[in-house]
Amino acid sequence: MLQYIQSFDTKACLSLAGQSRPISLATLARRISATADGWLYLMLVPLALLLKPQAARQIVYTSLIAFTVERLCYLVLKNTIRRQRPQQALAGFTARIKPSDRFSLPSGHTSAAFLFVTLLCTLLTPLFLPLYLWSAMVGGSRVVLGVHYPTDTLMGALLGTSVALSVI
């Protein structure tokens, strides 16, 4: 089963992040990926104050716990599984950006994006539901940029969503 998953990941990664992809796609992916670098998550505080001022303190507190738990789980998983990134595992493959750490599984950008959107949708308002599309685009951008396999981003999405739901 693991061999099948690795085979799928390798084929999908080479197809999605192949060096023949247009530079404009890589540029778009780089911009989408950058939106999940962390600064956007600070918007949770003013959104909580604006949309639910009476519960803002509890929302911020819950969110801080959720992000702490998510980052701890992410670090433990990443450093326990130690899956090589595509650039290290695939001969002749070059990522379009320099990854922020050494290992691939799970995708931290994707995990944090799904955590953030799940918190917004459950704690503030379901009107943020379209932001799940943004979260999925973050995951896809990481594959297009060649720093993750598709299952890395899938596991990141599962991690972020499940931590958010379990903390709430």
In this predicted structure, what is the pLDDT of residue 23?
Answer: 67
Mean pLDDT, consecutive 10-residue stretches, the chain (168 aa), reads: 83 74 79 91 89 91 95 96 90 84 92 95 87 94 92 96 95
Cis peptide before 106 (omega within 30 of 0): yes
User: Measured between alpha carbons, how far is residue 46 from residues 40, 59, 123, 130 in Å?
Assistant: 11, 11, 13, 19
- The domains of the chain are located at 32-167
Sign of CA dihedral 151, 93, 90, 37: negative
Q: How many CB atoms lie within 10 A of CB 124?
A: 18
Q: How many CB atoms lie within 10 A of CB 71?
A: 15
What lies within 8 Å, CB to CB, of 37 at 6+ separation is: 109
Tell me the H-state helices in 94-130.
108-119
- Which residues are known to be catalytic? 109, 148
pTM score: 0.91
